[in-house]
Amino acid sequence: MVSSASDDRRPRIGITTYLEPTIWGVWERDASLLPRVYLDSVVAAGGVPLLLPPVGTDPTVLDLLDGLIIAGGCDVDPATYDAAPHPETVDTRSGRDEHEKILIRAALDRDLPLLAICRGLQMLNVTLGGTLQQHLPDVVAHDGHRPSPAIFGTTEVKVEPGTLTARLFGDRTSVRCYHHQALDVVAPTLAVTARAGDGTVEAAEVDGHDFAIGVQWHPEENPDDLRLFTALTEAALRRRTR
């Protein structure tokens, strides 16, 4: 995208959405939806949120954007990384998987600032050639990353020095989490930049990009900590002046 350095509009941040059966008023239909906390976080960080539904995918839509968020959600289909499904992998959306793979590749090709959240980090890893651990309690022997339905856990994260993650969070941070899957084999072009105490990958960055980061936690669930969203909008502004 070609923009003038004098362009002072707020950064346009695309966010991927869910396609789900939904009820509102007297209607019960499939709808493209996203929790409002994502929208509020982008606005609070100085951006304009634009929703990207998982239908009619066209990577050229990114030419209209200054940044991209791959949102959290359901499990990634194991077929995406050539694995058989675990008994606990029961909620997948193959159409959304393909939609987000296309957008991730296009964003990286354009060096568009990219923030991948929870499932988004998993999709980033799979898109770049990695695999997933389908049921984390099998590995870490606890349910702390997803304590119970609709209840977020709290995870203490240790950050690798000298990384973008460290510049944003220092050497440690406490985060909100809700997931039962996580990175297993890490893609060759991803650098792990933070882990939980049990070894779970909590953040990773794509080599060779100004701002392409994924986190396993849910930053949108902490309105008092906008560091990731602010960093995304700042990266979007930097890109616009290039």
DSSP 98-167: HHHHHHHHHHHHHT--EEEETHHHHHHHHHTT--EES-THHHHSS-TTS-BTTB-EEEEEEE-TTSHHHH
Distance CA 40, CA 109 (A): 28
Q: Which two tokens stand for residue 179?
A: 């997931």
Query: Would you call 156 a catalytic residue per the annotation?
Result: no
Q: Are strands 114-117 and 67-70 parallel, antiparallel or unpaired?
A: parallel
Query: Would you call 100 a catalytic residue per the annotation?
Result: no
Distances (CA, A) of 153 to 156, 179, 219: 10, 9, 12
Name the DSSP class of 76. P
Nearest to 54 by CA among 82, 85, 92: 92
Angle among Cα 175, 177, 183 to the nearest 5 degrees reads: 105
Catalytic one among 99, 145, 179, 218?
218
Query: Would you call 118 a catalytic residue per the annotation?
Result: yes
DSSP 3-state of 202: strand
DSSP 3-state of 26: coil
Catalytic one among 118, 177, 179, 202?
118
**Catalytic amino acids?**
118, 218, 220
